[in-house]
Amino acid sequence: MSDAAAPQKHEFQTEVRELLHLMIHSLYSNQEIFLRELVSNSADALDKVRFEGITNPDLLGNDGDLRIDLHVDEVARTIVIKDNGIGMNQQDLMESLGTIASSGTRNFLKNLSGDSQNDMNLIGQFGVGFYSVFMVSDNVEVLTRKAGEDQGWLWTSEGEGEFLLAEADKAERGTTITIHLKDEEDTRAFASEWKVKEIIRKYSEFIVHPIWLTTNSIPAPVEEGQEPEAPEEKAPERLNEKTALWRRSPKEVTAENHKEFYQQISSDYAGEPLTQTHSHLEGMQEFWSLVYIPAKAPFGLFQQDRAHGLKLYVKRVFIMDDCKDLVPNWLRFVSGVVDSEDLPLNVSREILQDNRTMASIRKHVVKKTLESLQKMADDKPENYATFWKEMGVVLKEGFYMNYEWLDELKSLLRFHSTTSGTEALISLKDYVGGMLEDQKDIYYISGENLKTLETSPLLESFRAKGYEVILMADHVDEFMMSGLMDFDGKQFKDISRGDVALEKTEDEEKVEKQQQEDFQKLCESLQNSLAETVESVRVTTRLQNSPCVLVNKEDAMNAHMERLMKQMGQDNMPASKRILEINPEHAICKTLQAKAEAGEELGQWPTVLLGQALLAEGSPLPDANGYVQAVNKLLS
């Protein structure tokens, strides 16, 4: 250490102290992940310096042989992890190993489930893995020097509430982490050669950079009075000699290879891929792609700031993580790698957005991913049902402001319906195949949840006539319908909007016309009472058991969409007036018609009928207290 300045003592950020306490005292069941996380950090540092070296070769100098070196001393109980990557300066150390500026730690702590395996998986996903080293160590030293700078730094901590930071001598760029293991039975094993090999081959076998292991031999026991032999250092052994998985022939790659590689690149160490697409394209362009579709939705899939995309390599050189330009947002659940032979090594995010090669690669990746999903849907419907339950709602986003992949997406859609129920799923092909001979349109209804939709009065006549209705209860369904106009020549018809003809017979039309005349006075009386909220009142044949229902005008936004817009902050949007339809066959409506014909007041009935219609569709009551009082008056 240089004499420039004495070590400075600093306290950890509050969230880091909380995280450290949790790591040390609670998450004991899978301690080996500390080595996985530190090796992964070293690989990231090597990727960064190689990328920076493309535009600034002086950063690499004569030290272009990028590598990770592990040294294990079983007698001293130490593990040393050394890389010649980008390194860190004082500011980097303060920001990376003392505080966490993002909300990652808070989200990590909030999302802990108590399931040890799941919680360990979250460590990698949230990027807080360095602190896992304190599960096994009582002291950690980080000696580092940033590429392009002259001053080295030493960071030390015992993982309690503080750390020391001081200037230090370091001849070359990069980082060396020295871990002093706790003198406990379950932690001493990590200083053994076999244990380190097991962990590296389990988690880090496909890391691009070479990982070398050096160990000290354990001296043989000696008799009392004799001098023990000094431990000898064994020759370095490389632990990861496999070639980049994506550049190997798909026929050579086993399911276990895919599982291991998927876990490494996705940080989903407890999961496995549902399927993958592995391709190599040659011709005008040459690139390799390996894309995985997970079996479970990635953590934080619906968080706005969640990083997503594919890893981008150029000529085997790592360029960036989470390249969003390679996949659209509605495929953000995938993970994988693209390796191009044609992109420039100094490509930037700005260049990527307008690059023709990138556009071609993106199109290929999307095409192959959708083909893989379709093949799964056709050949393994049970697997596809698993996918749809976890991530189908994200795929639905592809219908919004996208006109390139609509046909492919239509075939992948799955729905619940009045025929399939809320457990099974049907495709649009299934729906059209089951349409009645006289049915012209694809009927659907949208709302807050499946339970409310299943009991909607709007379905009564459809069920009676045998027409299947698709039930849409996902929050994106209304936005999806802006791009989903038709399928197989059939138009989509929202049964809550307009006058659904239901292919009436001539006799039914005559009866309806007569009922309109018979109930004219009741319709007028209800309209007068509800003029502020209802556009009109009319007789309907779409009801069987309910006295009334609210519907929307053909060109108006439906009630479910209005509620969604308000939830998104559009409170100033005026509510459109609805149409109240009454059932002329219902006893309540017949009684009220008699009152209207006799010139009697309807009293509380208009308020009660409107309230019932709102509640039946899942809409909130504008005046809940007024509705309760109206019901009480009728009952008393």
Residue 476 placed within a domain? no
Tell me, yes or no, whether 452 lies in a domain. no
Find all residues with CB under 8 Å of 430, minimum gap 6, and list them.
none
Q: Are residue 280 and residue 369 in the same domain, yes or no?
A: yes
- Single residue among 388, 406, 433 that ends a domain in this structure: 388
Q: Please check whether residues 267 and 381 belong to one and the same domain.
A: yes
- Asked if 19 and 91 sit in the same domain, the reply is yes
And the tokens for 63?
A: 């030290």
520, part of any domain:
yes
* DSSP per-residue letters across 603-615: TTHHHHHHHHHHH
How far is residue 521's CA from residue 516's CA, in Å, rounded to a whole number? 10
Same domain, 184 and 260: no
Same domain? For 206 and 265 the reply is no
Measured CA to CA, the distance from residue 407 to residue 451 in angstroms comes to 30
Q: Read off the pLDDT of each residue in 174-200 and give the average, rounded to a whole number.
A: 92
Specify the CATH number for the domain of residue 357.
3.30.230.80
Q: Which of 388, 420, 454 is a domain's end point? A: 388
Question: How would residue 237 be classed by pLDDT, with cut points 50, 70 and 90?
Answer: very high
CA–CA distance, 607 with 359 (Å, rounded to integer): 58
| 111 shares a domain with 252 | no
Of 319, 205, 315, 318, nearest to 262 by C-alpha is 205
CATH of the domain at 15: 3.30.565.10
Run of H or E including 98: none
Q: Is residue 427 part of a domain?
A: no
Looking at residue 632, which CATH number applies to its domain?
Answer: 1.20.120.790
Query: Given strand 548-551, what is the order of strands in its sheet?
Result: 534-539, 578-582, 548-551
Domain range enclosing 298? 245-388
Is the residue at 468 inside a domain? no
Tens digit of pLDDT for each residue in 101-134?
Answer: 444 445 555 665 455 445 544 555 444 678 888 8
Please indicate, yes or no, whether residues 198 and 326 belong to a single structural domain of this protein. no
Tokens of 72: 């294990």
- The answer to the question of residue 27 being in a domain is yes
Same domain, 21 and 146: yes
The 10s digit of each residue's pLDDT in 403-431 is 899 999 999 999 999 999 888 999 999 99
Looking at the fold, whether 154 and 255 belong to one and the same domain comes out as no
Question: Where is the domain boundary, 326, 357, 388?
Answer: 388
Per residue in 281-326, pLDDT (tens digit) is 998 899 999 999 999 998 888 876 777 889 888 877 777 888 888 9
Residue 503 pLDDT class (50, 70, 90 cuts)? low
Residues 305 and 174 in one domain: no
Q: Into how many domains does the chain fold?
A: 3
pTM given for the model:
0.70
Same domain, 287 and 207: no
Helices (H), 174-254: 185-188, 193-203
| Chain-centre distance for alpha carbon 415 | 20
What SS3 class is residue 100?
A: coil
